[in-house]
Structure 1
Amino acid sequence: MIKLIKKAFAIFKNMHFQSLLANGMMAVFGMITLSILYRNLTVVDIGIYIFFLAIVGLIDNLRAGFLTITIVKFFSGTTEERGNEVAGSAWLLAMVISVIFLIINIPTYFISSYVTDQGLALFLKYFSIISLITLPCFMADCIVQASKRFDRLLWLRIFNQGSYTLIIFTLAYLGKLNLMTVMYTFIGSNLFASCIVLVLRWTMISSVFKARLNTAWELFHFGKYSMGTNISSNLFGVTNTFVINFLIGPAALAMYNLGGKLLQIVEIPLLSFVTSGMPLLSTHYNKGEKTEMIYTLKKLIGMLTIVLIPVVIIALIFAQPIIHLLGGKGYVANEAPNLFRIFMVIALLYPADRFFAIGVDIIHQPKINFYKIIIMSLVNLAAVFAFVGIYHSVYSIAFASITPIVVAIYMTYKPLNKYSKFSFLSIYQVGFKELILLIKQLNNTFFKSSHKIVNEKK
């Protein structure tokens, strides 16, 4: 029994498991929060809030795309002195970005009173405040990833998303939940989490005094291209959000979001493995281990895709009860269940899309992701307007979303294949082989150990 407990603790200490647990906990909090909001706010208010979060998310992803991969790439596997220099230079860039947002927000604050769309008006008023409030949390997130401290990432998720969910639940219980109280809760929970990480010194904010201008420029020139990697998964959702909000309406946006929100079933393990896999890939590249890097890339994509197949099948069969559980019975008879089915099938392409984008950045070709995002944007816009023109429905936008993903995979596969030759099919062959090895390893770790302990007792 003691051996089993020790092995269980060993698994808990595994960085992939810690990353998965951190993001999984965030998903659970997110699902609970969403369920409360859908049951207590009107469909229109939900649509307004979703639109606001989508634009805030785009701004956040601009910053995250600029700095997250950059920090992980330049910080991982370096000396303490170089790490402080990178962290300090990253802080310097982050502060400059925040100042730019503040300057832009001065005229937009006054413009907001003339904007009729409520979600857009809220964004124009508060986006720089939100950017400042979330900055310590954001930097802590980047640094714990780069340091491979995924135990801290778990606590970071609890401080942020956990406090948000708790306050939302309390407001709903007291009957005080409305659009503005949700807004203030969003700002307050982020402020709370940022204060905590500053007190715990997880942000390395003091390293800003060790920043160097040449290092900051080095990070800037890499980050201006790597931004395409992070924003690619967000930009098209924002584009679709704009189209639905202004052409179909906030109520349709609420249904579209409910169907898409459940993609966290896919996004959470994917984000977890991207988060923990990125420093591994960076380490292989920095050591000149070309074969090992590509093998790790193939293993992560293949294993995740194969594991997703049964999840997608379950989602196709049980879409209606799943939607009922999350949003309530009022959303079962509309488009939400079928949207969920469409999104889940498309999600099988996500592992290749995300890891190929990361891989291109790792091999120091961020320009490809920059050009890719431009082409994807044009393809997505063309597909969305073409599909909406043919069939004026949220379904058309869901079907159109597959086109930029296919383009992205093709554009990033080519340079990676040039870096080290591999066939696309070999990704899933490696993934299947590694998955079988993992199952056998887990079987030997737990089941054979438990049989051995039983026999010893006899």
Structure 2
Amino acid sequence: MEDKSKGHYWVKSGILNVLQNFSGVFFGFAGFYILVRVLNKQDFGVWTLFMSVTTILEAIRSGLIQNALIKYLSSSDKKEHPEIIAASTFISGLVSAASILLLVIFAPYLSRIWSSPQLIGLLYSYVIVFIFSGILTQFNAVEQANLKFNGIFLNNLVRQSTFFGFVLICYLTNFKIELVYLVWVQALSLILSLIVAYRYVRHNFTFSLSMGRPWLDRLFGYGKYAFGTSVSSLLSGTVDQMMLGALLSPAASGAFNIAVRITNLIDIPGNAIAVVVFPQSSKRMEEEGTGAIKYLYEKSVGTTLALVLPGVLFLYFFSDFVIHFIAGEKYTDSIPLLHVTLLYCLLIPYGRQFGTILDSIGKTKITFLVVVGTTIVNLGLNYIFIKKIGVMGAAYATLVSNIIGFIVAQVILKKEIGVSLWNTLVHLVKFYPEFFEKYIKPALNRRSGQIDHLQK
């Protein structure tokens, strides 16, 4: 019965998270498909830089709060949950206030270095969005810690579809989109998402008025490294676009962003599996030890690679068609960028599950140091390569830094939990026949049986 329950968790939560990530990428990509056509290259580049800054702000807060809250809620007694949630919310409020202050101070500076005067108004308007998103992050973390994903899926669907709906209506009615309108719609979509999220989480989102110092210390002690990891990881993924905007132009940043957006289409399985693995790995470490964690890493990486490999091959060999279909003729310069970004897509599952597994077993400091080191290398290589060879330099710099990070991560995992790189490839190869035997073959047999029955 217990095995059946575990299987039900993995199937249900896996499907929900794949759907959530698919809807996120679909609506994000569909919105991008329209924006890239209705905005000129300069405005699209400014929007790309704006999204890079705000995504980092979100990572600062969620990195410090989210994983720590999920870890301790999923592994602690139910009686302690109100105190844990209260401590986490208090830290979230402090971090939000500090982030808003930094945003107000540095917005004019960012506007100057990127030669984008309208960026100041966009960042100031984002303050209200940031407040609402902080509340939503708390709601989603509590639901995930309780191994439930329905509310997360639905509130994200509401948030993404609202934004996309606005962009689509503007496109169909030839309404001129001002960038600040997009920020206002983000705020509206968050309000609607909060209403949905609260309905699902209200029974588990309980506060304790006697918030103790021990939980503040534990959450912050765990979260400070997860925070550094999230921010550094995000910087590593956006520093190329930021430096292109500063060293070349916002338009160059926009061209690179198109290649990144397309590769994100094949990253849906990795995101979904990481969300499911994190709370489970925390539990299994407590119950079964490092052997279970080793298998969990190898299996999740192999499965993710098996799911993304067909997409990588398709996009690589049909990149010309994909770029022209998605972004149009004016972004032909994104084609060689896409070829390089697809190569490091094959390393992303290793890095993502490296962080997920080490964070879940309390090794957040190691994850933090690896990601910070990789980010510093990426920053240096981007500066050198962009100066020497232009836009392509950003792609090559990110590829090299990802290879270095991959090697370091595998050495650490081998030492900590005995991970075998070969086993991940074995799981990759075994995935296809296993998938055929478990899902395709039974479906074909049922179909064949139905045909025989009808013929009789």
TM-score, structure 1 as length reference = 0.89
Asked whether 1:426 is paired with 2:423, we answer yes
For residue 263 of structure 1, report the CA deviation from its aligned partner.
1.5
Separation of aligned partners in 1, 2:398 and 2:88 = 33
Percent identity, aligned pairs only?
A: 18
Cα distance, 1:101–1:385 mapped onto 2, change above 3 Å: closer
1:32-60 deviation digits (Å, cap 9, x = unpaired)? 10011111111100000110110110111
For residue 165 of structure 1, report the CA deviation from its aligned partner.
0.5
Asked whether 1:273 is paired with 2:273, we answer yes
For residue 430 of structure 1, report the CA deviation from its aligned partner.
2.8
Cα distance, 1:239–1:222 mapped onto 2, change above 3 Å: same
Asked whether 1:72 is paired with 2:65, we answer no
1:6 is aligned to none
2:128 is aligned to 129
1:373 is aligned to 371
Asked whether 1:149 is paired with 2:148, we answer yes
Separation of aligned partners in 2, 1:249 and 1:119 = 15
Cα distance, 1:204–1:210 mapped onto 2, change above 3 Å: farther
1:151-194 deviation digits (Å, cap 9, x = unpaired)? 22220221111111011112233313122222322233223323
Which deviates more, 367-376 or 241-250?
367-376
Separation of aligned partners in 1, 2:82 and 2:445 = 46
Cα distance, 1:159–1:416 mapped onto 2, change above 3 Å: same
Q: Which amino acid aligns with 1:134?
A: S
Separation of aligned partners in 2, 1:218 and 1:12 = 29
2:259 is aligned to 259
> What is the DSSP-based 3-state SS (H/G/I as helix, E as strand, rest coil) of the residue aligned with 1:48?
helix
For residue 220 of structure 1, report the CA deviation from its aligned partner.
0.5
2:414 is aligned to 417
1:166 is aligned to 165
Cα distance, 1:248–1:442 mapped onto 2, change above 3 Å: same
2:284 is aligned to 284
Contact 1:383–1:400 (Cα < 8 Å) also in 2: yes
> What is the DSSP-based 3-state SS (H/G/I as helix, E as strand, rest coil) of the residue aligned with 1:358?
helix
Contact 1:88–1:207 (Cα < 8 Å) also in 2: yes
For residue 368 of structure 1, report the CA deviation from its aligned partner.
0.9
Q: Which amino acid aligns with 1:258?
A: I
User: May I ask how many residue pairs the two structures share in their alignment?
Assistant: 446
For residue 200 of structure 1, report the CA deviation from its aligned partner.
4.9
Separation of aligned partners in 2, 1:415 and 1:111 = 39
Asked whether 1:84 is paired with 2:64, we answer no
Which deviates more, 112-121 or 348-357?
112-121
2:3 is aligned to none
1:326-380 deviation digits (Å, cap 9, x = unpaired)? 222322xx31122122111210001001101111212211111221233112211
For residue 219 of structure 1, report the CA deviation from its aligned partner.
0.9
Q: Which amino acid aligns with 2:222?
A: F
Separation of aligned partners in 2, 1:348 and 1:173 = 37
1:184 is aligned to 184
1:42 is aligned to 40
Contact 1:55–1:123 (Cα < 8 Å) also in 2: no
For residue 117 of structure 1, report the CA deviation from its aligned partner.
2.9
1:139 is aligned to 138
Separation of aligned partners in 2, 1:372 and 1:142 = 25
Separation of aligned partners in 1, 2:51 and 2:67 = 23
> What is the DSSP-based 3-state SS (H/G/I as helix, E as strand, rest coil) of the residue aligned with 1:263?
helix
Which deviates more, 230-239 or 110-119?
110-119
Cα distance, 1:40–1:289 mapped onto 2, change above 3 Å: same
Cα distance, 1:247–1:108 mapped onto 2, change above 3 Å: closer
Separation of aligned partners in 2, 1:112 and 1:315 = 34
For residue 414 of structure 1, report the CA deviation from its aligned partner.
2.9
Separation of aligned partners in 2, 1:263 and 1:439 = 26
For residue 318 of structure 1, report the CA deviation from its aligned partner.
1.3
The aligned runs of 1:285-304 (5 Å cut-off) are 285-304=285-304
1:207 is aligned to 207
Separation of aligned partners in 2, 1:293 and 1:395 = 38
Separation of aligned partners in 1, 2:234 and 2:408 = 18
Asked whether 1:441 is paired with 2:434, we answer no
Separation of aligned partners in 2, 1:288 and 1:33 = 44
Contact 2:242–2:253 (Cα < 8 Å) also in 1: no
Contact 2:122–2:180 (Cα < 8 Å) also in 1: no
1:82-107 deviation digits (Å, cap 9, x = unpaired)? 33333332222111212223444555
Contact 1:136–1:197 (Cα < 8 Å) also in 2: no
1:3 is aligned to none
Which deviates more, 443-452 or 45-54?
443-452
Separation of aligned partners in 2, 1:354 and 1:231 = 14
Contact 1:197–1:203 (Cα < 8 Å) also in 2: no
1:175-220 deviation digits (Å, cap 9, x = unpaired)? 1312222232223322332344235545955425464321121011
1:219 is aligned to 219
Separation of aligned partners in 2, 1:111 and 1:147 = 42
Cα distance, 1:49–1:110 mapped onto 2, change above 3 Å: closer
Asked whether 1:193 is paired with 2:193, we answer yes
Separation of aligned partners in 1, 2:205 and 2:117 = 36
TM-score, structure 2 as length reference = 0.90
Contact 1:33–1:169 (Cα < 8 Å) also in 2: yes
Contact 1:323–1:337 (Cα < 8 Å) also in 2: yes
Q: Which amino acid aligns with 1:408?
A: G
Gaps of 5+ in 1: 1-9
Cα distance, 1:202–1:40 mapped onto 2, change above 3 Å: farther
> What is the DSSP-based 3-state SS (H/G/I as helix, E as strand, rest coil) of the residue aligned with 1:177?
coil
